[in-house]
Chains A and B, each alone.
Chain A
């Protein structure tokens, strides 16, 4: 079998493709991509650490200027998005319950409805969907605002006034997005769990509310609450850092704002998915 395969490869055009050296332009392309990736990771890491340093060392400095900005950001990344999140929560409950009920009923495992809701909504889809919605509604606006401010010289103006741009522009956004996404994720999950039951009720599933919530409570553990808080906070932190970094950390011209926005969105999505994968590993270990 092995020889057969080898002879097949050797006698086919694939042999030529395997032995042909990688074109230099391809190697250059891959090298550039790798270098750019490492450079971005390095820049984002440094930006995140410096921002954390500023947030810790200046947490009480100029509170009458910075705190109102933070409250504004919490409102923007939290309260104002609530109607949209409740709509998505209703849809999420429908999607999960709609599919789960039909299959669980067939195999007589309707008692696992609560468990499935916890696994799918609380651990996975709830935080990830909340992060994507926050990125779409607030993250993109963040990049555009900051990149425009950078291109129009507002950063230099702040520095000339002795004001740290990270303290004024970035710290309120990071705090606001981390708090905002945590609250929104809780509402999204609660909304999806409730709407899930309502959809089950509409489908005449023989499940009492008390049984449903008992299933949910049994499926939830202390680790779920702890990891949910950490995960959503980190999603908010990552989205805020990536979007602020691309808007603020390097000199920009106005025509580069759209490119910066696209880069920030792509990198935020990748970073959030990677973080989510990390949490799946943590769940599997514990």
Chain B
């Protein structure tokens, strides 16, 4: 993969992948997805579906620059995807990630978890970051949990802490791994509403539409929220198009993600 060379052809795109192959993080010898050609424009809202074990999480980790693609070209706002180069940290912080189950720091409180990226990158004390952390905790409904540790919280709240932490530095691109899994209807509603606001331009993001990519094993909740759909099928990344195109698809695997039997449409 080419490192930091700017590519004018993809400069207008948030993410651009050509011929990308993704290996499993736990077993780099196993290729999970290959031949990915994908373009994500700024402000897009993509929903990437796939059965469990199809490689959604590993695909998202690669998209987030946490693992390198096995081959292919990957551009992030026109430049090679920043991995861990110190001189490209600013670019890297334009992209953030919300993990399935949160992946919070268990020894830190909620407030410390959320403020960590801000404190680390701007060299602030806990008290110094408080003025910026409190509004975000309010926004995500976490204010009463501020001094709790993740171990004392239910999954739904841990996921929200993960979201707040990812939003702390106001990234332009947000990747979310299975954000609705394990949530009840009330929490699902909150997430869909909040992500919809982010996609349209949330005040926290200074009104700028955030580019969103979420993974899921169930397309149904994303009707009317996600604007473009794709799926991982047989080690391939297949762009499905809009919700209408997904709903009209006769492919058995797509119907499974809609929890509808093939041929019943």
Task: List residues of A whose CB falls within 8 A of some B CB.
Answer: 61-65, 145, 149, 152-154, 156-157, 159-164, 168, 251
* Known A62-B123, A64-B124: A154·B117 in contact at CB below 8 Å: no
The answer on a CB contact under 8 Å between A154 and B92 is no
Q: How far is the CB of A63 from chain B (nearest CB, A)?
A: 6
Smallest Cβ-Cβ distance to A168: which chain B residue: B120
The answer on a CB contact under 8 Å between A63 and B123 is yes
Task: Taking A64-B124, A157-B104 as given, write out 5 further A-B residue pairs in contact, using a Cβ cutoff of 8 Å, ordered by the A residue number.
Answer: A62-B123, A65-B120, A162-B117, A163-B120, A164-B84
Does B185 lie at the interface of the complex (its beta carbon under 8 Å from any beta carbon of A)? no
Does B165 lie at the interface of the complex (its beta carbon under 8 Å from any beta carbon of A)? yes
Smallest Cβ-Cβ distance to B121: which chain A residue: A162
**Which residues of chain A have C-beta atoms less than 8 A from B93's C-beta?**
162
Question: Complex formed: what's the CA distance from A164 to B105 in Å?
Answer: 14
Question: Complex formed: what's the CA distance from A62 to B123 in Å?
Answer: 5
Question: Complex formed: what's the CA distance from A284 to B65 in Å?
Answer: 53
**Which residues of chain B have C-beta atoms less than 8 A from A159's C-beta?**
66, 84
Q: How far is the CB of A153 from chain B (nearest CB, A)?
A: 4
The answer on a CB contact under 8 Å between A160 and B89 is no
Question: Complex formed: what's the CA distance from A162 to B165 in Å?
Answer: 12
**Which residues of chain A have C-beta atoms less than 8 A from B103's C-beta?**
152-154, 156-157
**Which residues of chain A have C-beta atoms less than 8 A from B66's C-beta?**
156, 159-160
Does B25 lie at the interface of the complex (its beta carbon under 8 Å from any beta carbon of A)? yes
* Known A65-B116, A162-B89: A154·B121 in contact at CB below 8 Å: no
Q: How far is the CB of A54 from chain B (nearest CB, A)?
A: 10
Interface string of B89-104 (1 = CB under 8 A from A): 1001100110100011
The answer on a CB contact under 8 Å between A156 and B116 is no
The answer on a CB contact under 8 Å between B124 and A161 is no
Of A61, A145, A149, A160, the residue contacting B64 (CB under 8 A) is A160
Question: Complex formed: what's the CA distance from A11 to B125 in Å?
Answer: 80
Q: How far is the CB of B86 from chain A (nearest CB, A)?
A: 8
Q: How far is the CB of A257 from chain B (nearest CB, A)?
A: 14
Interface string of B12-41 (1 = CB under 8 A from A): 000000000000011000000000000000
The answer on a CB contact under 8 Å between A157 and B105 is yes
Of A61, A152, A162, A163, the residue contacting B106 (CB under 8 A) is A152
Does B68 lie at the interface of the complex (its beta carbon under 8 Å from any beta carbon of A)? no
Give 30 pairs: A residue, B residue, CB < 8 Å, sorted on A. Answer: A62-B119, A64-B119, A64-B123, A64-B124, A64-B125, A65-B116, A65-B120, A145-B107, A153-B99, A153-B103, A154-B103, A154-B105, A154-B106, A156-B61, A156-B103, A159-B84, A160-B96, A160-B97, A160-B99, A160-B166, A161-B117, A162-B89, A162-B92, A162-B121, A163-B117, A163-B120, A164-B84, A168-B120, A251-B25, A251-B26
Q: How far is the CB of B127 from chain A (nearest CB, A)?
A: 10
